Structure 1
Amino acid sequence: MEALPRDTIVDVLEERLREDILAGRHPVGSLLPPERRLADGYGVTRTTLKHAFGRLVQAGLLETRHGVGTRVRDFARLGGADLLPMLIRHSPDWIGEIFEVRRSIGALIAERAAERATPAHRAELAVRLAEVRAAEGGEGVQLADIEVHRALARATGNRVYVLLTNTLFNAYLPVRAALVSPFTDPESAYRRLEPVVAAVTAADRAAARAAAEEYLTETERLMMDGLRKKEEG
C-alpha cells in the first residue's frame, strides 16, 4: 500500500496564508509585511515563507516584485476558474454559483454533442454510460458519471468545452464526498443519465438539451440536500 502524504510546514503555512488572504486579513492590493516580520509572526523560517509565497503566486493570490515586495493580488478581478477549489475550501457557499454555471454549460454541451457527435463519440458514450450502471459504491458511480460528462464534452468537438467540464468538476473536488447523494444507487444514476445519452445518440438537439437540464437540475437538488445534511450534522 502507498503511504498517505503528510502535510509539510510549507503546506500548513500555504493554507494559513491563503485563508488569511481570502478572509481579508491581508486585504486585496495591500503589501504583505516584510518577510522577516511575517516569518517571525507565523513561526517559520524565511525559506519556508518563500516556498509558500511561490505557491500562492502560482495560484494567483500574490504577486512579487523585486524592490517593491509581495502584494495581495486582486484575484476576484484578475483570477481565473482555477481559483475555485481554494475558494470553496474557504467558503462552501460558492457551490451554488458553480452549480448555476454547471446547469447552463451542461445543457449547451449536450445540445452541441447531439449536433456534432461522430459514431466513435456515440460508441464511447454507450460504454461510459454502461460503466455507471456497473460501478460499485457512491464514489465509484460518481466517478463513472463524471466520465460520461467528459465524453459528452469531447463529442462537441470543441476542446474548450472539455476544459470547462474539467474546471467545473475540479471546482467542487474539495466537497465531493458531500455530493455523493445522486450516486449511491448505480441503477438510479444510470436511469437519470440515460435520456441524455439517448438524445445525443439520436442527434436530437432539443431533446438532448431538455434531458440535460432535467438531469442537472435533479442531481443538483440531491447534491445540495446532501451538502446541507452534512453541514447540519
Structure 2
Amino acid sequence: MGALPRETIVDVLERRLREDILAGRHPAGSYLPPERELADGFGVTRTTLKHAFGRLAQSGLLETRHGVGTRVRDFLRLGGADLLPMLVRHSPDWIGEVFEVRRGIGALIAERAAARATAADIAELRRLLAAVADADGGDPAQLADAEVHRALARATGNRVYVLLTNTLFNAYLPVRAALAGPFEDARTAHDRLAPVVEAVAARDPQTARRAAGHYLSATERIMLEGLARSGARRGDAS
C-alpha cells in the first residue's frame, strides 16, 4: 500500500478558488482582486497564490495579463471537454448532460462500427466482451465494459470518436464508484452489452444503433439511481 497523498496549501487554495469560480462568485470575464489583497485574505504568501493561479490557468479557468491582472475565463464559451472531470467533481448535475451526449454519441459509434468494422475489430470486440463476463466483481466489470466501448470507437476507423469516448469516460471518473450499479453482476453486464457487439459483428448498422440506444438508456437509468442513492447517503451523513 502506498502512502496517502497529503494536501499542500497550494492544493487547498486552488480548490477554494476553483469552487468560487465555478459557483459564480467570480463571474466569467471579471478580474480577481489584486494579488496582495487575495493573499492577505487567504492568509498565504503571494508565491503560494501565484502557484494556485498557475494551476487554474492551466486548467482553463484563469488568464493572467502582466500589468493588468488575473481574469476569469469564460470556460463555457472558450473551454473544451477536458474540463468535464473538474465540472462533474464540482457538481454532479453535469452528469445528466454527459449522459445525454453519451446516448447520442454511443448510438452513432455503434452504427458506424457496424458499417466499418474489420474482421480483426470484431474478434477484438468479442474477446473484450467475454472479459466482461469473466470479471471478478463490479469494478473490474465496469472497467472491462469501458474497454468494449473503446474498441467500438476504434472500429469506426475515426480517431475523433475514440477521443470523444475517452473524454466521456474521463468525465465519469470523479463519481465512478456511484455508477457501478450496471456492473455489479458481471454476467448480467455482459448480456446487456452483447446485442451491441453481435449487431456490429453482423454488420447491421441500424440494429447496432438500436441495440446501443437500448443499452445506453438502461445503464443510464441504473447509474443515475445509484448516483441519487450516493447523494442521499452524503446528505444523511452531513
TM-score (norm 2): 0.96
Deviates more, 1:220-229 or 1:3-12: 3-12
Report the equivalent of 2:51: 51
**Take 1:131 and 1:42, find their aligned partners in 2: how far apart are those partners?**
50
**Take 2:183 and 2:45, find their aligned partners in 1: how far apart are those partners?**
45
Which stretches of structure 1, 4 residues or longer, exceed 4 Å deviation after superposition?
A: none
Partner of 1:128, secondary structure, is helix
Identity of aligned residues (%): 76
CA-to-aligned-CA distance 1:59-118 (integer Å, 9 cap, x gap): 111011111110001111111111111111221111111100000000000000001111
Report the equivalent of 2:224: 224
**Take 1:162 and 1:6, find their aligned partners in 2: how far apart are those partners?**
34
**Take 2:72 and 2:101, find their aligned partners in 1: how far apart are those partners?**
27
1:48-87 to 2 correspondences below 5 Å:
48-87=48-87
Partner of 1:70, secondary structure, is strand
Report the equivalent of 2:197: 197
**Take 1:135 and 1:2, find their aligned partners in 2: how far apart are those partners?**
25
Q: Is residue 2:102 matched to residue 1:102?
A: yes
Q: Is residue 2:213 matched to residue 1:213?
A: yes
**Take 1:130 and 1:43, find their aligned partners in 2: how far apart are those partners?**
55
The letter for the 1-side match of 2:192 is R
Q: Which runs of 5 or more structure 1 residues have no equivalent in the other structure?
A: none
TM-score (norm 1): 0.98
The structural deviation recorded for 1:220 is 0.2
The structural deviation recorded for 1:228 is 0.9
1:143-222 to 2 correspondences below 5 Å:
143-222=143-222
**Take 1:5 and 1:67, find their aligned partners in 2: how far apart are those partners?**
36
The letter for the 1-side match of 2:202 is A
Partner of 2:67, secondary structure, is coil
Partner of 1:71, secondary structure, is strand
RMSD of aligned Cα (Å): 0.9
1:27-42 to 2 correspondences below 5 Å:
27-42=27-42
Partner of 1:172, secondary structure, is helix
**Take 1:10 and 1:142, find their aligned partners in 2: how far apart are those partners?**
34
Q: Which runs of 5 or more structure 2 residues have no equivalent in the other structure?
A: 234-238
Partner of 1:16, secondary structure, is helix
The letter for the 1-side match of 2:170 is N
**Take 2:102 and 2:22, find their aligned partners in 1: how far apart are those partners?**
24
CA-to-aligned-CA distance 1:115-145 (integer Å, 9 cap, x gap): 1111111111111111111111211111110
**Take 1:15 and 1:49, find their aligned partners in 2: how far apart are those partners?**
12
The structural deviation recorded for 1:12 is 1.2
The letter for the 2-side match of 1:176 is R
How many equivalent residue pairs?
A: 233
